[in-house]
Structure formats: structure tokens, C-alpha cells
Chain A
Amino acid sequence: KNQVEQSPQSLIILEGKNCTLQCNYTVSPFSNLRWYKQDTGRGPVSLTIMTFSENTKSNGRYTATLDADTKQSSLHITASQLSDSASYICVVSPSYGNNRLAFGKGNQVVVIP
């Protein structure tokens, strides 16, 4: 079973609308949780990084939340733009090392005009 589960697998939203992506994880103890944006054919680009003691982190129109008790995180996209069409990957770093990050499969977002 994957240590990081993301939902929904994919979604289509209208330009200008908001959306929320979910990430549930089982990695414990963990050091930090990251959200990456990956455009098609490109490498992942970091959006937010949260330690276990942080509840929220914003980066422009992207806001990530973290509930370490329930082991859940969300990424909220406000006022979506066509350029937000991408895969959003949740990544959890265990406390015991930086070389065994646990990756989700990603949320595929398509923004349509």
C-alpha cells in the first residue's frame, strides 16, 4: 500500500474557480510535507514545504494545510488559471532520512476556459 494517497486522481475545473486537492499519508514520524507542481514533460517544482508543526503555508494562489494528527494535507488553488493545469504531487519526508521520500501519484488538474 502506498504511503501517500492523493485524491481525486484527476479533475477538470473552469478557469477562475477554486479547487482543493487531498493528500493522506501514513509516514510516521515525518519531517516535512511538500507539494510540488509538475507540468507535462517537466520536472516537479516545489510549491510549499511544511514541517509537522505547521498548519498552513501559502504561495500566491496556492495554500497548503496540514493536520499532523489525522495525517492529512490539502492544497487549495484559488481563482484557477489555465497555467494551473498540471499534476500536483504530495511528498512526505520521513524523519529518519532525506533519501526515502514518499511520493503520491499526483492529482491531475485540467483548467478549461
Chain B
Amino acid sequence: DTGVSQDPRHKITKRGQNVTFRCDPISEHNRLYWYRQTLGQGPEFLTYFQNEAQLEKSRLLSDRFSAERPKGSFSTLEIQRTEQGDSAMYLCASSGTGKNGYTFGSGTRLTVV
């Protein structure tokens, strides 16, 4: 599989619990992005990695959110003390050095109850 993989596809959690999502980008892509998307809206930028370096974080990424890409390959997004407002689709995308290749994963649907 040469696409962007995200795991899990769906996650239901109780408010206050911590959750962690994983993204495996296309292997030759050095850039990795996390987005959040709510119903009827376009994706909103959360954070961006180039290799293992986290180069940019959106103001949407509160202190309860943390993302890592320890070896410049897969990435994890952790949400601590989840709130109902965190319910959304979390999308990962990756790209190479060229501007054309930008591929999204299928997303992780988070529901906080």
C-alpha cells in the first residue's frame, strides 16, 4: 500500500480520556500534516512536520494536543483530557519536496461522549 494510512478509523471515547492516533505517510514523503475537519467544513490545519521537526503549530492545537514524528516516518497525534468539542475527523496528509504531491489519509473519526 503506497497511500497514507491512519489508525484507527474510528474512535469513541469518554470525555476526559486520552486518545492517540497514528499516521503512516507515503514512505518517500518528508512532510506530514495533521488537520481537523468538522461536519460541513473544510479541513483546518493543526500542525506540520518536515522530517522529524515540527515546524508549525496552529492556535487550534491547544496544550491538550501534542503531535510527534520521532524518526521522521510515522506520526502520532495525542489528545489529553478529551472534550466533546474534540469530536471531529482528524486527517493526516503527506507530501514530498514537489508542490504537486499532497495525499490525504482516510482519517480517524473521533467521537467524545
Contacts and interface: CB of A to CB of B under 8 A. Distances in A.
Interface stretch (A12-20, A36-44, A60-68, A70-78): A36-44
B40 A99 contact: no
Contacts, number: 55
B31 interface: yes
Given A43-B105, A45-B104, A99-B56, A32 B99 contact: yes
A89 B91 CA distance: 14
B102 A43 contact: no
Interface in B26-57: 31, 33, 40-45, 48, 55-56
B106 A43 contact: yes
B2 interface: no
B106 A46 contact: no
Interface band, chain A: 20 to 34
B43 A42 contact: no
B25 interface: no
Contacts of B95: 98
B109 interface: yes
Contacts of A101: 45, 102
A1 interface: no
Nearest to A39: B106
21 contacts: A4-B42, A32-B99, A32-B100, A41-B107, A42-B106, A43-B104, A43-B106, A44-B104, A46-B102, A89-B43, A91-B42, A93-B102, A98-B99, A98-B102, A99-B45, A99-B48, A101-B45, A101-B102, A105-B40, A105-B42, A106-B41
Given A34-B102, A108-B40, 12 more contacts: A32-B99, A42-B106, A42-B107, A43-B93, A89-B42, A93-B99, A98-B99, A99-B31, A101-B45, A105-B42, A106-B40, A106-B42
Interface of A: 4, 31-32, 34, 36, 41-46, 49, 89, 91, 93, 98-101, 103-106, 108
